[in-house]
Structure 1
Amino acid sequence: MDRSFYQFVLSYRGGEKNDPHTIFAESMFNDHSFPRYERSFDTLSRYIEEKADPQMPSVLFDELYRHFEDRFL
């Protein structure tokens, strides 16, 4: 299945209010400049680091990307 990282992380929306994965997903969803069709770690990581949004910390991105890799890459 050709699922983007964005599509994968959306599966965490609507979870527990204080869950870091849910917070990341909600923040990503509300970020209209997020690269929605990207699958490349380097491109996504660069975006996360340059944006420096406290709701989308790079350490959590790394964890979510590993889960994405395990399932879809």
Structure 2
Amino acid sequence: MAYRESFYRYLMTLRDADSTDPVVQFANNAQNDQTFPKQEQNYEKLSEYLELNAGYLPSMSIFDQAYQMYHDKMMY
């Protein structure tokens, strides 16, 4: 089975303190989330965590967009 980086690790590549893009803001805020599941790749597990713990995420559609970007990148 091929190695696939975690969603968190991918998300950290999107950080940019000067950006107003919602996905980038999600990445910036996730960096400060000490309990973020940093090794997780599974959509359902990540979604459940974020729904219960990520007050910094204004809409789950932002996570959906970020996860789709992650999924597309990991397909290569």
TM over 0.5: same fold? yes
Contact 2:17–2:28, Cα closer than 8 Å, also in 1: no
Contact 2:6–2:40, Cα closer than 8 Å, also in 1: yes
Identity percentage of aligned residues = 31
> Which one-letter code corresponds to 2:13 in the other structure?
S
Match of 1:44 among 46, 68, 74: 46
Cα drift, residue 14 of structure 1: 1.7
> Which one-letter code corresponds to 1:71 in the other structure?
K
1:29 aligns with 2:39: no
Cα distance in 2 for partners of 1:39, 1:32 equals: 17
Q: TM-score, normalised by structure 2?
A: 0.83
> Which one-letter code corresponds to 2:11 in the other structure?
V
Count of residue pairs the alignment pairs up? 72
Cα drift, residue 66 of structure 1: 0.9
Q: Secondary structure at the match of 2:16?
A: coil
Root mean square deviation of aligned Cα: 1.5
Contact 1:4–1:38, Cα closer than 8 Å, also in 2: yes
Please, which runs of 5 or more residues in structure 2 have no aligned partner? Answer: none
